[in-house]
Amino acid sequence: MDLSSIRKLITRYCTGEESWVDSRTVYIGQKEPPPGTEAYIPQRFPDNRIVSSKYTFWNFIPKNLFEQFRRIANFYFLIIFLVQLIIDTPTSPTTSGLPLFFVITVTAIKQGYEDWIRHKADNAINQCPVHIIQHGKVVRKQSQKLRVGDIVQVKENETFPCDLILLSTSREDGTCFVTTASLDGESSHKTYYAVQDTKAFNTAEEVDTLHATIECEQPQPDLYKFVGRINIYLDRDEPIVRPLGSENLLLRGATLKNTEYIHAVAIYTGMETKMALNYQSKSQKRSAVEKSMNAYLIVYLCILISKALINTVLKYAWQANPNRDEPWYNQKTETERQRHVLIRAFTDFLAFMVLFNYIIPVSMYVTVEMQKFLGSYFILWDDDMFDEELGEGPLVNTSDLNEELGQVEYVFTDKTGTLTENNMELRECCVDGHVYVPHAICNGQILPGATGMDMIDSSPGVDGKEREELFFRALCLCHTVQVKEEETVDGIKRGIHQGKSTSFYISSSPDEVALVEGMKRLGFTYLRLKDSHMEILNREDEMERFELLEVLNFDSVRRRMSVIVRSSSGDYYLFCKGADSSVFPRVVSGKVEQVRARVEHNAVEGLRTLCVAYKKLTHEEYEETCHLLNRAKLALQDRDKKLAEAYDVIEKDFILLGATAVEDRLQDKAADTIESLHKAGMKVWVLTGDKMETAAATCYASKLFHRNTQILELTTKRTEEQSLHDVLFDLSRTVLRQHGSMTRDTFSGLSGDYQDYGLIIDGATLSAVLKPTQEVTSNGGNYKEIFLEICRNCSAVLCCRMAPLQKAQIVKMIKASKERPITLAIGDGANDVSMILEAHVGIGIMGKEGRQAARNSDYAITKFKHLKKMLLVHGHYYYIRIAELVQYFFYKNVCFIFPQFLYQFFCGFSQQPLYDTAYLTLYNISFTSLPILLYSLMEQHINMDILKRDPTLYRDIAKNSLLRWPTFIYWTFLGVFDAVVFFFGAFFLFDNTTFTSNGQMFGNWTFGTLVFTVLVFTVTLKLALDTHYWTWINHFVIWGSLLFYVIFSLLWGGIIWPFLNYQRMYYVFMQMLSSGPAWLSIILLIIVSLLPDVVKKVLCRALWPTTTERIQTKRQCLTAEQSTIFMLSQTSSSVSF
Amino acid sequence: IMASSYGAKEEDGHHPGSAGLGGAAIRTKKPDNTAFKQQRLPAWQPILTAGTVLPAFFIIGLIFIPIGIGLYVTSNNIKEFELDYTGTDMSSPCFNCSQSWNSTNTCKCELFFSLDQPFESNVFMYYGLSNFYQNHRRYVKSRDDSQLNGDERSLKEPSKECEPYRTNENKPIAPCGAIANSMFNDTLDLFYIDPNGKKRPISLTKKGIAWWTDKHVKFRNPGGSNSNLTTVFKDTAKPVNWHKPVYELDVDIENNGFINEDFIVWMRTAALPTFRKLYRIIQKNNDMTPTLPRGNYSLAVTYNYPVRSFEGRKRMILSTISWMGGKNPFLGIAYITVGSICFFLGVVLLFIHHKYGNRNNSSDIAS
C-alpha cells in the first residue's frame, strides 16, 4: 500500500463518505487501474438488455394466471369454481367456469399480445448495432452486449444506447447537443460537456489509450441528478480528479444532435439506466365509484353468506325428521350416508354459496372495464377539445378515472402555462427607475443609436447610460439560452445580422427567451456561445466577447441564477437575475426604492417581474469563488446542499441594476372556465411559484377573485407584524362570523348578499402552518385544522411562492381533510408533476414547458378551457353512466338470485336451482349484458349543450350522490320486490293446477323458465325506462337482446342436444308459450314489477324535482311548444335560452 | 304526450371550425367528425313525467280490469271435484290399505262420492300428491335422459346420477334413478252409479296425457325397430320398487316401455311439493248428454303407493278445462287488482299533475 492510496482513503474519510457501497467504480475501456492503487474488485453489472416485457414464453401461463387471480374478484370466482369441481353442487362447474374462463382468456390474450409487442420492441432495441472502441478500433456490437466501462462511439442523430459519461466530442470545445424529446418531451437542444481533461482524446486510437476510472453513485431514477468523479491516470502517479455532474451524463433514449460524433463511456446499462428506472408505473389511482362498488360488494358478500347460512340452518332444522331427510322415494347413496354430519353441513353451506354466487357477477367487472375503456374514446374523439394549432386532441392515459371527472370538488391549477398562455413577451424594463419599452415590431434594420426604444422618462445622464448598457449586457449574458443554428455554415451570422428570424433562441424557460429577444429589439443581440465565450452584438454593431466562467444555474428554491464572466478588458462580473424577493435582500446599493415601486406596479398589472443585479469581482475574489464552487461540485454526497451553500455565499452584496417585466397573456376563455367551475360548486385554488402580486392580478383577470371578493391574506408580510397564531385566529373569526350570520340569513330567507372570501397564502406561511405544532392551541385544534376551516369557507384560494413539493403537500392536505373531497390538479410544467400525481385526477396541459406534466397525468388536454367540457360534460356523463351501471348490475342480480333463494323453501332446502344451467350461465353474459353496456356508453340524460351552459347541474351529482347508501338500498329493495313478484306470481299460477288447454301438467323447469322469462324482460325494460337517450343503437340492442333471448330459448329447447347428458329443457319454452295464461301472467308480472319504480320516478319528479329533472321537463315543454306553434315559437324559444 | 326530439340535434351536429386551417399532417391526427364519435347521434329523448305516464296508467287499468273479469268468470265456470283417498282417517275406506304396506298382495278400497253439477265437455282426471318433494335436488337429477331416449350404451351403463338406483344385483336398472323408481302406481277406476244403483264403468282414455314431444322424441325405447321389448330389456333389472318390469307396463306396444304415458307424466318432475299429475281423460260423449252427469260415483282404488311415512296425501281430482286451463282464480283476481291499482294511481297522478306539474313548469320557464 503506497502513499496515494492512503491519501485517497483519508480524503474519502474527510469528505464524509461513509456509505461507500452506494457508489460504483467503472474502469474505462475495461482496463484495470495502475497496479497498486487499490485492490481490484470486479463489480458485476447487468448487461445492456432492456426488458420491458413482463413474461417469457415459459412463464407466461403461470405468471399471468397468478397475476390475474391476485385480483380479489377473480380469486373469488376461482374459489367458487373449485368448490363446484370438488363437491357435489347444484349447478355444473361450467356455469361459473365458462364466464371465468372467458374473462381470464380474454385478459390473458390481451396481456399476451401487449407483451409480445413489448418483446418485439425490446428485441429491436437490444439488437440494434452500437459502435464500441476495442483495442483502438471501432467494433460493431449488438446493443444488448454492451457492458459497463465500454467506450461507445455515437454519431449524429443516433440514440444513446445506455447512460454514458461524455469523454470527447467532434467539437473542439468538448460540447455536444442533445434532445431529450423521447424522455421528457422537451425538444430543445441541451448542451452537454465533455470532461475537460479527456476532451482531447478525439479519435478511436486516442480514446483507447485513456486510462481512467469513474466513481459514481449507484443508479437512481431522477433524470436530472447525477454525481460522480473521474480519476484520470496520466503518466504521473497522482490521478487527476474531476467532478462529474448531470451535464456530463448522456441519458439512454436521448438523441445526439448537431455534433458529428462523440466518445463516451457506459456507466449504467440495461435495466439500471435512468430511463428504465423511470419505467415503473405510477401508483394506481382508484375512483370514488370504484370504492363504493367495493363497499357494495362487501354488503352483497355478507348477504350471500347469510343467505347460505340461513338456508343451511333451516335445512337441518327441517330435515331433523328422517322421513323428510330421506323419504323412501329419494334415498341417499351409502357414501353420502356415512359422511359426518359436520362435513355434510359444510358441503351444504358451500353448495348454497355456489347456488347464490351469481349475486356477485363476474361480468360486472368485465362490463365496467369495457365501459371505461370504450368510453374514454369519446374524450379522444371530441372535436371541441381538438386543438387546431397544435394539431392534437386530448390524451387519455388512464381510463380508470373517467367517472371521477364528474366528482371533482377542488381544482388545483397552476398559473403559468395553464391559466396563462406561457407566450412571453418583454413588456418593459426599468433601469434605475427609467422605463424602456421595446418596439413591438422589429423592422428588420438595426439603426444606429438608441432609436430602437422609447424612453418614457427623461434621458439618463452619462452615468445612467453606462448603467443602462450594463443592464442590457447583463440580460444578454445571464441566461442559458441556446441559439438554434442553421445547417449552412454562415447561416447564423447572416441570419441574425440581417435581423431575419432564420435562427432562433431555445431555452427550457420561455422567460429567458422573451428577455433575450427583447434585448435584441433594444439593440443588444446575443449571438452564440463559442469556445466558452459569449458573443454579443451591441448597438454600435460591434462584437463584444465575454468569457463565460461559471453558471450558477436556476433552481426553484433560490429563484435566481447567476453567471460569472470576464470581459475582454479583463474585468470579472457576476450578473444575477431572479425574483425580487430573492434579489432585494442581497442588494447593497442601487436605486432600490424606485425599482421596487416599479416591480410592484408591474406585478399588480399581472406581469412577471425579474430583478437584475451585478457585482464586480476582483481576481482574488473570483479565485475564491471558483474554489468554493469546485469543492462543492466535487462532493459525492449532498452535493446539492453543498452547492446551495456555496451559491448562498457567492450571491450577495449586489448592486441593483433594474427590473424587467414580461407579459404572459391569459389563455383563451380561462375566465369563463373558472367561472363555470365555480358555478358547478368546485373550489378553485391557484398554486403558483409566482409572486403574490402577479398571481393576484392573474386571479382577478381570470375572475377567480371578483371585485366584491374580500381578500384574506395569510402572508409573510402579515405574519411578520402579528404572530401566525393571531393571524390565523383573526381570519377564522372573520370567516366564521360570516358563516354564522349566513345560517341566520337562510332562516330569514335573506341569503342573497353573503360575502365572498378569497384567501391568499404564500409558501413560507404555508410551511409554517403545516409544520406540526408542539404546543396545542388554547381552544384545541392545531393550525392545520384552523387553516382548513378558513379554506373551506373561501370560494377561491391563491397560493403563491410555492415550491413544487408544496403544491403536492397542499393537495395531500385537502385530500386528507375530513370530508375527503375529490381533487383535481391541472398543470403544464415539470413543477406540477408532483401535484398531478398526488391529486385524485391529474390533468396535464400539453404546453410549452415540455411534456412532462402530460406524461405523468391521467388525462392531458391542450388548453385550460377544455377543462370545462371535460368536467361538466364528459365527467358528468361518465359519472351518471357508471353509477347506473353499478346499481343496475347489482339490481339485476338480486332479481336473478332471490327467486332461487325463495325456491329453497319449497324444495326442501335441497339447493335445487330454479333455472336451467344455460340460463344461469348466459344471463349475465349475453341476455342482459349488452343493453347496460350500451346504456353506459351512450346515455345522455341532458343534452351536452345544456350541461355546458348550466354548470350548476354538476352540483346534482356532487359527493357521489347517485351511489349513496339510500340509493343503493332502494335498488336492492326494488330487486327484492321484483324477485318476490316473479317468484310468487309464478307460484300462484302453478299452484296445484294446470294452465294449458289440453290439461297436461308443467314441471319445475317450466316454472323456472317462466320466472326467468319475466326476469329477463323486466330487467331489460327497467333499463329501457331509465334510458333517456334512445339512439338507433339503443333500440337495436335492447330489443335485439330480448329477441335473442327468445330465439335462444326456442333453439335450446328445440333440439335434443347430443352432447348434453340431460334434456330437461326440451320443448319446455315452447310448451309454455303455447299456453294463454302463461302469456297473460308474463305481461302482468312484468307490469307489476315495473310499476313501483315508475310511480317513484314520476312522484319524485313531480313533488321533489332535482335541478336535472327540472331542466329535462323544461326542455320537454319547450320542444312540445315548438312543435305546436312552430313558426312563432322558433324565435321566442331561442331568445328564452 | 311523449315529447320527442328526433333530429333536433342534427343541426348543431356539424359545427364550423373543421373547415380550413391545418395541413395534411394535422388532418390525419384530427378525429373525424361523425355524429357517433361526437355523441350527437339523433335520439329520441323520452322523459317519464306524470303527464306522460298518466294515459298509460289509464289504458292499463282499462285493459286489465276487463281481462281480469273475463279470467275470473272463466275460472269460476270451471268445475272441479277433489277427493282425498289417503285413508288416514279411521272412517275412510282406504284406512286399512294405508296402514300396512307390503308389495306382495294388492290392497283395494272403494270410495263413493256424488257430483252436484254435471261436468260438460272433456273431463280430466288427475291424481294429486302433497308433501312429496319431486323437486328435491337429489331426486330431480336422479335420472338418465339418454337411457330414456333409447341409447343402448346408457341402458347397459346408466349414468352415475342414478345412484343409489343405478344397479340391482349387478344388472343395470332400466329405467334407472329415484324418479322412475318411485313412480306412482295406484290404479284408479271410476264408476257411475245409476239412479237405480247399477255400477257402470266410465271409460278412461290414457292417450294424450303426456306432452306430444316427450312421447315421440324425448322418450324412446331402445332397440330401434325391435318391437320385442322383452328381448331389448333382457339384461336389465326392474326398478326395485316396481311390481313388474318396464316392458310390461302396458300391452299396447305404442304405450309400453319408456314411452308409456303414465311413466312419462311421472318423469316430468313437479315444481312444488304439492302437485297433481294428469291421470286419465274422460272423452265427452258424442250425444248431447254431459260427460259426467249429476249423480253418484264410486272410485275404485288399487292402493299401492305409500305416503303415510312422509305425511303425504293422495287425491283424485276431476276437472273440466277451459282455454286457460284448470280452475285458478289467481290470475283473474291479480288482473283486476293490478288494473284497479293502475287506475287509482292514474287518478292520483292526474291530481298531482294538475296541482304540481303546471306550477313547476310555469315557474321554471318564468325563471
Q: Which of A522, A529, A471, A530 is nearest to A505 (CA)?
A: A529
Residue A509 Cα distances to A173, A417, A600, A804, A833, angstroms: 25, 11, 23, 16, 17
**Which helix (H) or strand (E) covers residue A728, if one does?**
helix A724-748
Question: What is the mean predicted confidence (pLDDT) over A369-378?
Answer: 89
Q: Of the residues A150, A414, A916, A978, which is catalytic?
A: A414
Pairing of strands A410-414, A823-827: parallel
* Backbone CA torsion sign across A401, A402, A406, A410: positive
pLDDT at A10 over 50: no
For residue A299, give every residue at least 6 positions away whose Cβ sits within 8 Å of its Cβ, in sequence order, or none: A968
pLDDT at A1124 over 50: no
| A715 in a labelled binding site | no
Among B324, B327, B359, the residue to mutate for chain A (most A Cβ within 10 A): B324
pLDDT of residue A751: 39
Contact A918, A1005 (CB under 8 A): no
Can you tell me the distance from the alpha carbon of A754 to that of A1025, in angstroms, rounded to the nearest whole number? 42
pLDDT band at A1093 (very low <50, low <70, confident <90, very high): very high
The answer to whether A378 faces chain B, any CB pair under 8 Å, is yes
Question: What is the mean predicted confidence (pLDDT) over A178-204?
Answer: 73
Exposure string over A748-768, b if 16+ CB within 10 A, otherwise e? eeeeeeeeebbbbbbbebbee
For residue B106, give every residue at least 6 positions away whose Cβ sits within 8 Å of its Cβ, in sequence order, or none: B302, B303, B304
Q: What is the pLDDT of residues A950-1003, one digit of tens each?
A: 999 999 898 888 899 999 999 999 999 999 999 999 999 888 788 888 889 999
Can you tell me the distance from the alpha carbon of A1028 to that of A797, in angstroms, rounded to the nearest whole number? 38
Can you tell me the distance from the alpha carbon of A535 to that of A542, in angstroms, rounded to the nearest whole number? 10
Q: Which amino acid makes up residue A123?
A: N
The answer to whether A402 faces chain B, any CB pair under 8 Å, is no
Residues in chain A, total: 1137
Would you tell me which residues 539-578 of chain A have a C-beta closer than 8 angstroms to some C-beta of chain B?
none
Question: What is the mean predicted confidence (pLDDT) over A603-626?
Answer: 84
pLDDT of residue A441: 37
The answer to whether A983 faces chain B, any CB pair under 8 Å, is no
pLDDT band at A18 (very low <50, low <70, confident <90, very high): very low
pLDDT at A14 over 50: no
Question: What is the mean predicted confidence (pLDDT) over A43-64?
Answer: 83
Question: What is the mean predicted confidence (pLDDT) over A933-954?
Answer: 92
Looking at residue A350, what DSSP letter applies?
A: H
Question: What is the mean predicted confidence (pLDDT) over A210-217?
Answer: 85
* Higher-scoring residue by pLDDT: A26, A850: A26
| A115 in a labelled binding site | no
Place of cell 391476485: A70
In this structure, what C-alpha cell is assigned to residue B150?
Answer: 333409447
Backbone angles phi, psi at B270, to 5 degrees: -75, 160
pLDDT at A451 over 70: no
pLDDT of residue B214: 92
Lowest mean pLDDT among A614-618, A768-772, B322-326: A768-772
| A290 in a labelled binding site | no
pLDDT at A668 over 80: yes
The answer to whether A376 faces chain B, any CB pair under 8 Å, is no
Lowest mean pLDDT among A214-223, A821-830, A942-951: A214-223
Q: What is the pLDDT of residues A458-471, one digit of tens each?
A: 445 566 778 888 88
In this structure, what C-alpha cell is assigned to residue A466?
Answer: 453606462
Q: What is the pTM of this model?
A: 0.79
Chain A partners within 8 Å of B274 (Cβ): 992
pLDDT at A53 over 60: yes
Residues in chain B, total: 367
pLDDT at A588 over 60: yes
Lowest mean pLDDT among A882-891, A1061-1070, B284-293: B284-293
Please state the separation of Cα A1034 from the chain's center in Å.
Answer: 33
Task: Indicate the average pLDDT of chain A.
Answer: 81
Chain B partners within 8 Å of A944 (Cβ): 39-40
| A832 in a labelled binding site | yes
Instruction: Output the DSSP codes for A290-348.
Output: HHHHHHHHHHHHHHHHHHHHHHHHHHHHHTTSHHHHS-TTSPPPHHHHHS-HHHHHHHH
Among A386, A916, A1073, A1116, the residue to mutate for chain B (most B Cβ within 10 A): A1116
Strand-pair partners of A798: A686, A760
Considering chain A, what percentage of its residues have pLDDT values greater than 70?
86
Considering chain A, what percentage of its residues have pLDDT values greater than 90?
22
Best-predicted range by mean pLDDT among A84-98, A910-924, A1107-1121, B19-33?
A910-924
pLDDT at A184 over 60: no
pLDDT at A359 over 80: yes
Q: Do A992 and B3 touch (CB under 8 A)?
A: no
The answer to whether A990 faces chain B, any CB pair under 8 Å, is yes
Backbone angles phi, psi at B84, to 5 degrees: -90, 125
pLDDT of residue A469: 84
**Which helix (H) or strand (E) covers residue A985, if one does?**
helix A965-990
Please state the separation of Cα A941 from the chain's center in Å.
Answer: 28
Would you tell me which residues 133-152 of chain B have a C-beta closer than 8 angstroms to some C-beta of chain A?
133-146, 149
pLDDT of residue A1119: 64
Exposure string over A1032-1064, b if 16+ CB within 10 A, otherwise e? eebeebbeebbebbeebbeebbeeeeeeeebbb
For residue A201, give every residue at least 6 positions away whose Cβ sits within 8 Å of its Cβ, in sequence order, or none: A167, A168, A207, A209, A210, A263
Contact A876, A953 (CB under 8 A): yes
Backbone angles phi, psi at A551, to 5 degrees: -120, 120
Can you tell me the distance from the alpha carbon of A1114 to that of A1119, in angstroms, rounded to the nearest whole number? 9
pLDDT of residue A41: 64
pLDDT of residue A746: 40
3-state secondary structure of A537: strand
For residue A495, give every residue at least 6 positions away whose Cβ sits within 8 Å of its Cβ, in sequence order, or none: A486, A501, A502, A503
Q: Which of B247, B315, B325, B248 is nearest to B276 (CA)?
A: B315
pLDDT band at A884 (very low <50, low <70, confident <90, very high): very high
3-state secondary structure of A250: strand
Can you tell me the distance from the alpha carbon of A1085 to that of B334, in angstroms, rounded to the nearest whole number? 9
Q: What is the pLDDT of residues A899-919, one digit of tens each?
A: 999 999 999 999 999 999 899
Q: What is the pLDDT of residues A650-659, one digit of tens each?
A: 888 888 888 8
Nearest to A1003 among B25, B269, B273 (CB): B269
3-state secondary structure of A715: coil
Chain B partners within 8 Å of A1007 (Cβ): 271-272
Can you tell me the distance from the alpha carbon of A799 to that of A685, in angstroms, rounded to the nearest whole number? 7
Please state the separation of Cα A314 from the chain's center in Å.
Answer: 52
pLDDT of residue A556: 66
Lowest mean pLDDT among A273-277, A810-814, A934-938: A273-277
* Higher-scoring residue by pLDDT: B26, A596: A596
| A291 in a labelled binding site | no
Q: What is the pLDDT of residues A145-172, one digit of tens each?
A: 888 888 888 888 888 888 888 888 887 7
Chain B partners within 8 Å of A993 (Cβ): 276, 325-328
3-state secondary structure of A116: helix
pLDDT at A823 over 90: yes
- Greatest CA span in chain B, whole angstroms? 110
* Backbone CA torsion sign across A981, A984, A990, A991: negative
Q: What is the pLDDT of residues A1050-1061, one digit of tens each?
A: 999 998 888 888
Backbone angles phi, psi at A308, to 5 degrees: -65, -40
pLDDT at A694 over 80: no
In this structure, what C-alpha cell is assigned to residue A833?
Answer: 408533476
Task: Indicate the average pLDDT of chain B.
Answer: 84
Contact B213, A1066 (CB under 8 A): yes
The answer to whether A839 faces chain B, any CB pair under 8 Å, is no
Q: Which of A1020, A1031, A940, A1027 is nearest to A978 (CA)?
A: A1020
pLDDT at A491 over 70: no
User: How far apart are the CA of B254 and the nearest CA of chain A, in angstroms?
Assistant: 19
Can you tell me the distance from the alpha carbon of A712 to that of A912, in angstroms, rounded to the nearest whole number? 70
Active site residue A237: no
Chain A partners within 8 Å of B59 (Cβ): none
| A777 in a labelled binding site | no
- pLDDT under 50: residue ranges of chain B: 1-28, 361-367
pLDDT band at A400 (very low <50, low <70, confident <90, very high): confident
Pairing of strands A823-827, A587-589: unpaired
pLDDT at A1091 over 50: yes
pLDDT of residue A545: 87
